[in-house]
Amino acid sequence: MDIDKIISTIWEGKEWIFSGIGVVVLGFIGKLIMGKKSGENSDTYTMKSKVYDNNNVSGGNNIIAKKNQIIQNDNSNTISVEGNGNVAGNGNSVTNNFIYSNNDDKKKENVNSWFSERFRILLLLLNDARRFNEKEYTVEYVSSLIGLKNVDGLKVYLTQEKEPDDEFKKRFVDVFGVNQEWMVHGRGEFPFASNISFWSDNPMDILRREDLKAINKFIVVIGEVKGRRQSCIIRQKNELCYELYSKYFTLNSSVGGAGTRDLVEFYRFVREADKIKKLGGVAYVATEEQMEKLMKGEFSPKKIERFEVARGFIEDFMCISEAEIEKNKNFWDEEFILVQKIIAANISGIDRVNQEEDLKCIKKNLGEDSQDKDEESNDIDLFDSSTPFFAYRFGKAFPGIRGVKEFTDSKECVDRLQILLKKPLSGEKLVGPIWWVRGSGNSDISNFERITDDKFLMDGDEIKVRRIVVCAAAEYYKKFVYVEAYPEEETGLYANDNAFIEEWTDKYGYYYEEYAEYEDKKITRAEYDDGAAMLDGKVVDLKGKAKLRTRYITPYNFIICAHFSPINSNEYDDMLEMLLNGILKGQNSVEEIVEVVKRMPKHRREM
């Protein structure tokens, strides 16, 4: 008789099961079942169970799931569960569809660890989000991005299938913005669910509360949500880390009193973020499905850069005079115009109440000095020569330091350089008093702009700081700062050959790429020179708005000093370049430069 029929017959007369004879009969049937499992050329038994909503297992011996197969190999104690439901209980646990005894840790190493599976998913999503000209994310590349000395530091967890400690896993959270609960603790369904705790409906609260120094820019995404236009905001901390504020912000005309205020505050956010140069030059358009998936965290927020571009949205949205709104009717739909009219009618009242306090908060969050502006703007005009001025700024940035001191915290390095190189860098008496030098290539520093915690722009050069070494020499005119930068990923604009890069680096000490930025798009140096570029399949006139950039693909270093520092002399160029290149190769040290500078006489043009 078929075993299913036996069980059915027994259950129909279940009142006798608990009698003495019932126990004997059940024992016999149990042996019969076990015999069928192992003796009839079959190693599988299908157990049909009633389906419950949660599709899980609860209780010591209760199976609550969809149809499952329980499979045990003859030479293994490991039981695999196939099917849509998972099994737990009765002293067992489920890991990746395998059942183990809770005391049998060794067998867990026979299958992928939770970390290796999460890493596989993360790698897929990172590559899914990258732009066509970006470098592919591989195990080797990711290991370098999270700061490992070599790939073995990551591969050990993937090949041996072991779980790293929480601090190791948090590196992925910090670098890529992946959800911490998902990456570190294995909780949550969506890898890029936002880590940001933000509950306000007012986007201006972002500018009021955030450390704006740590944010490169904000990106606006617009789309339909349940039939109404909404927006969401992404903060880009750097080129790898994009994080979403998990709130929809009002961007439609179907509003009451509270909604009107939220709409005006969104306008104020866009306006103020643009003023402080923290707003992406373009907005992106998402479908309703994309908006939903973005909000859940099903893909990396970086992927929005592959969405449709809402060309002109930012610029036109901020133009709310009567004449400008009338002009916008030629380019935008009726809803856009209605939204602008609501903003125009209410902006002055809200600005009058909040603007002064908001600007104070924004200035504080940008980390601007609290010094009186007159004092700040006039400090350079107190000096007639570059070396005493540099010594003065050096003391402000590195107070109390005598001799040589190294700083390895990247954020602190940029904090101090921001003081040393704050505006103004030219005055009535002094023009370009602070220089960067590297042997044959030397120039005055005219502009310093912080991009993120650990990165700054210096006259178009992108510098991601690894460390700085300051030399507070006894003679004021010999003070200098050594700066060393991490290598950065290639722009993807050029087909670089690794052998060529290695050859160039060996000859010149470092390798770099020149490119330009136009409306958050990267263009080649040649396109910048021509004043036009191919964007989205069309020739676009750059109209002089592209900004030239230099990116260092290999480690890079240089020295900051006064214009008439003895270091900045032609006679020492070759020696200085040799030492700087040697430091990058591990053949020389900063201390050697310090010793050389000690023996240098005053610059011939020093007072």
- 197-251, pLDDT tens digit by residue? 888 889 999 999 999 999 999 999 999 999 999 999 999 999 899 999 999 999 9
Averaged pLDDT for residues 409-421: 95
Buried b (16+ CB within 10 A) or exposed e, 543-568: eeebeebbbbbbbbbbbbbbbbbbbb
More confident residue, 529 or 87: 529
Residue whose tokens read 């958050």: 520
Position 341 pLDDT exceeds 60 = yes
Q: pLDDT, tens digit, for every residue of 483-541?
A: 999 999 999 899 888 899 999 999 999 999 999 999 888 999 999 999 999 988 899 99
Given a cut of 80, whether residue 8 has pLDDT beyond it is no
Which residues are CB-contacts of 366 (< 8 A; sequence separation ≥ 6)? 212, 213, 276
pTM score, whole prediction = 0.53
Decide: 444 and 434 in contact? Cβ < 8 Å: yes
Position 36 scores a pLDDT of: 43
Q: Which helix (H) or strand (E) segment is 404 a member of?
A: strand 403-407
For 197-212, the pLDDT digits (tens) are: 888 889 999 999 999 9
Q: Where are the domains of the chain?
A: 3-103, 114-185, 204-365, 373-486+555-598
How, if at all, do strands 217-225 and 283-286 pair? parallel
Q: What is the pLDDT of residue 2?
A: 54
Q: What is the rounded distance in angstroms from the CA atom of residue 545 to the CA atom of residue 583?
A: 38
Beta strands 538-541 and 44-47 are: unpaired
Average pLDDT of the chain, as a whole number: 82
Q: Residue 504: name the closest of 437, 448, 556, 464 by CA.
A: 556
- Integer-rounded Cα Rg, in Å, for the chain is 32
Quote the DSSP letter at residue 602: P
Q: Bridge partners of 452? A: 455
pLDDT tens digit string along 13-71?
545 444 444 544 545 455 444 444 444 443 333 333 333 333 344 344 343 333 344 44
